[in-house]
Amino acid sequence: MEERIRRARENIRREREKLEKRIRETCIIVVLLGAEGRGLEKRREIREKLEEEGILALIPEEDFAPDIAPSLTEEALLRRADVDLIFINVESWGSATELAQFHDEEHIAPKLRVLVPYEHHPIYGSSTGYLSDLYLSHLAKYGHVYAYDDSKRSFFPTSERIILTLASRFRRLKAMGKV
């Protein structure tokens, strides 16, 4: 009986090691969209943390062709099948325009993870403007609109925590063949 238990334990350990190796070897590509200035700095910090986890993170302003119009380059690259997730933090008119451009694009929208300050989230906030209406449409159709609070004054997570958590889990799911 003890020998059967030892063999079973050894088999489980080997399977766990295979799974851990598969996760380490699985690469996902994440694109971080958002505002310039402080928003760009924050995206650089998040990219560094994602890459420490073995996740390739791209920032369009730094990783896409600078000599081609961003509105053309981004759409072409985001359509690619090897881009797994696109996080868009709507912090500026530019990022709001990107969301409007991509939210109904059939090859891009399912990959979009929209980060919204909780005050403007269509469920948790009280904002009723055009942009909040767009968030609600995206939420209803794709289910990926996340409320955040980078000031840490509420119970909502930070945008960084949302991105790191979702990207890490997506990578594990991909390694297991579930996405």
Note whether 103 and 109 are within 8 A (CB): yes
* Model confidence, pTM: 0.89
Distances (CA, A) of 171 to 42, 62, 85, 105, 158: 22, 23, 10, 23, 20
Residue 14 falls inside a structural domain: no
The CATH number of whichever domain residue 62 belongs to comes to: 3.40.50.2300
Which uninterrupted H or E stretch holds 78? helix 70-78
Beta carbons within 8 Å of 9's beta carbon, 6+ residues apart: none
Would you state the structure tokens that stand for residue 75, as one six-digit string?
């759409």
Residue 10 falls inside a structural domain: no
Would you state the structure tokens that stand for residue 30, as one six-digit string?
């994440």
Q: How many structural domains compose the chain? A: 1
Residue 69 falls inside a structural domain: yes
Q: What share of the chain is helix, strand, coil (3-state, %, to 5)?
A: 55, 15, 30
Which uninterrupted H or E stretch holds 47? helix 38-52
Q: List 116's β-bridge partners, or say none.
A: 147
pLDDT at 52: 94
Residue 4 falls inside a structural domain: no
Q: Which residues of the chain have pLDDT under 70?
A: none
Residue 126 falls inside a structural domain: yes
pLDDT at 108: 94
Residue 38 falls inside a structural domain: yes
pLDDT at 114: 97
Residue 17 falls inside a structural domain: no
The residue segments making up the domain with residue 56 are 27-175
Residue 5 falls inside a structural domain: no
pLDDT at 126: 83
d(CA 105, CA 139): 15
- pLDDT tens for 65-112 read 777 777 788 888 898 879 999 999 998 888 899 999 999 899 999 999
